[in-house]
Structure 1
Amino acid sequence: MLDNCSTPITGIDAHAHVFSQALTLAGERRYTPGYDATLGDYLSHLHANGLSHGVLVQPSFLGTDNQYLLAALRQAPGQLRGVVVVDPKVGRDTLQAMARLGVVGVRLNLVGRALPDFAGPGWKGFFALIAELGWHVELHREVDDLPQLVRHLIPFGVKLVIDHFGRPDARQGVEQRGFAELLELGLSGHLWLKVSGIYRLAGTPEQNLVFAREAMPLLLQSFGRHRLVWGSDWPHTQHEASTGYASVVEQRQALGCSAQVEQALLVDTPSRLFGFHHP
């Protein structure tokens, strides 16, 4: 086990995945990996890019079997935090055991899935446990459906984190309805957003970057720099052939953020949101 509790925070990557192709995969999945994304490789990318800490997110193709992610947290406990995928019927003891390993949130990856009925049985108790632990709920869904989901979830009193700019379609510009509504909801103070996955925004690389550059000042005005975090989305599943760690760092730098915003994106905000110890 590597004890990195005293590692100074030079930068936090708020969204990455580790997995092995040898693992048992979920029966219903959109993607099947043909390679391993190991913790060692990930930590090497952090080091090479001047970053010190990371947040590992359970990939959808592993379903609710979080054992590989939890094993990674055990290897670098002070350096990593985790976001898991669990059944809403999960017990308090299981969640508390995960919390002791560094889990700080649960992910609702709803891309390609029917939207849940959060008024249904079990959800209220589940979100009460999440709130009690101080965890967040991470939402991954295309932007058209996000405002509705957010409005349904706010009454549960949990922190909400939006994935990948909210998955808008870059070709429709920053005026598209779902993104405009998301900006309005950002003013509520209930939401955080991950400035990540620019290459997932449905346009050409140029269109995606133009959208991200136009979106950043609007996000800063709506969410504020204290509710935005950056993530690499390593190893860039489904985009491995065209995307690498260095290229997503270049995309972040191309957003033209000030030094103060960069400090907030990479250190101050993720330290607070994910429970890293930063003096």
Structure 2
Amino acid sequence: MVGGSVLARRGAAQDGPETLQAVDTHAHVFRRDWPLADTRRYAPGYDATPEDYLAVLDAHGIAQAVLVQPSFYGDDNRGLLDALARAPQRLRGIAVVRPDGPPETLKAFAAQGIVGIRLNLIGVADPDFAAPSWQRLLRSVADLGWQVEVQAEARRWPSLLPPLLDSGVRVVADHFGKPDPALGIDDPGFRHLLSAGRTGRVWAKLSGSYRNGPGETGERIARAALPLLKDGLGLERLVWGSDWPHTQFEGVASYDRVRAQLDGWLPDPAERRIVLQETPRALFGLPAGRVPT
């Protein structure tokens, strides 16, 4: 079991000005006593509480963060909202909602720090974005200035991106856009994602490289993808996320390691400052400057 003291353990993280201003744009919190969704692929056997995560941020000098609703809670966002209420100046959230939910819910969520919705499409079919319920939801998301964060295999981007972009929303691709491990950066779907950079409304998260292939495969793909993402989307459309607490990959990932990876991917401190500070604050509506802990 992963205990809170282990989750918050400090290692070799940097403590320079760039880290003290940094934003972690992808993390999850959960408790085993929170109600699980009826349909789910996985549920962890340990707690990763809001208090644990805030301790991790403090231990690594990370100023602010974005919490993403775990798929195993479905559209029950109560745990996420409770976490945001604990540090409203420091945290923002990405919720999961039903397309037929009332628009008033989104407005209430916005007042509580939610800045977007998540579509975790691993193992499920593409949504019918042409359906009236989806059209209404996407219009509301666009009106709020929110984003739609998508986790899906790269081969699906050619079918997912056009209707999302046509709706006027901003799209954020999880985990480098998830190219096929066997194809890497030659995955046609990943190339489609790059081509959508010309719209100025597509972002990518530099996170969870271990989710894109076993062993060193994910790291190799990440290093090869970085220059293409910089060229196709631009640094102003890239953000970093720890993917804490690295569910199902706890044995191969740690906060120190994933933070250090970014230094290898982007050795230029000026580029890291854009990815760690400027871009995420603009995208997620976070206040500038270091937030007291």
TM over 0.5: yes
Corresponding position: 1:80 with 2:91: yes
Task: Look up the SS of the partner of 1:51 in the other structure.
Answer: coil
Corresponding position: 1:50 with 2:57: no
Counterpart residue identity of residue 232, structure 1: S
Which runs of structure 2 are paired with 1:8-27 in the superposition (5 Å)? Answer: 10-27=21-38
Is the 8 Å Cα contact of residues 13 and 54 (structure 1) preserved in structure 2?
yes
For 2:28 and 2:175, how far apart are their aligned partners in 1?
Answer: 14
Give the structure 1 partner of residue 12 of structure 2.
Answer: none
In structure 2, which of residues 117, 125, 133 is the aligned counterpart of residue 114 of structure 1? Answer: 125
For 1:261 and 1:212, how far apart are their aligned partners in 2?
Answer: 16
In structure 2, which of residues 210, 219, 229 is the aligned counterpart of residue 209 of structure 1? Answer: 219
For 2:233 and 2:32, how far apart are their aligned partners in 1?
Answer: 37
Shift in Å, 1:269: 0.3
Structure 1 stretches lacking a partner, 5+ long: 1-7
In structure 2, which of residues 184, 194, 197 is the aligned counterpart of residue 186 of structure 1? Answer: 197
In structure 2, which of residues 236, 240, 247 is the aligned counterpart of residue 237 of structure 1? Answer: 247
Is the 8 Å Cα contact of residues 16 and 234 (structure 1) preserved in structure 2?
yes
For 1:271 and 1:30, how far apart are their aligned partners in 2?
Answer: 32
For 1:120 and 1:96, how far apart are their aligned partners in 2?
Answer: 22
Structure 2 stretches lacking a partner, 5+ long: 1-18
For 2:234 and 2:186, how far apart are their aligned partners in 1?
Answer: 19
Is the 8 Å Cα contact of residues 146 and 170 (structure 2) preserved in structure 1?
yes
For 1:129 and 1:141, how far apart are their aligned partners in 2?
Answer: 22
For 2:60 and 2:199, how far apart are their aligned partners in 1?
Answer: 34
Is the 8 Å Cα contact of residues 63 and 90 (structure 2) preserved in structure 1?
yes
Corresponding position: 1:39 with 2:24: no
Question: With structure 2 as the length reference, what TM-score do the two structures score?
Answer: 0.89
Give the structure 1 partner of residue 111 of structure 2.
Answer: 100
Shift in Å, 1:122: 0.8
Count of residue pairs the alignment pairs up? 271
Shift in Å, 1:254: 2.0
Is the 8 Å Cα contact of residues 20 and 38 (structure 1) preserved in structure 2?
yes
For 2:107 and 2:245, how far apart are their aligned partners in 1?
Answer: 28
Question: With structure 1 as the length reference, what TM-score do the two structures score?
Answer: 0.94
For 1:176 and 1:96, how far apart are their aligned partners in 2?
Answer: 38
Deviations 1:52-107 (A, max 9, x none): 10000000000000000000111100000000001111212211111111100000
Shift in Å, 1:256: 3.5
For 2:278 and 2:232, how far apart are their aligned partners in 1?
Answer: 18
Computed over aligned residues only, the root mean square deviation of the Cα atoms, in angstroms, reads: 1.4
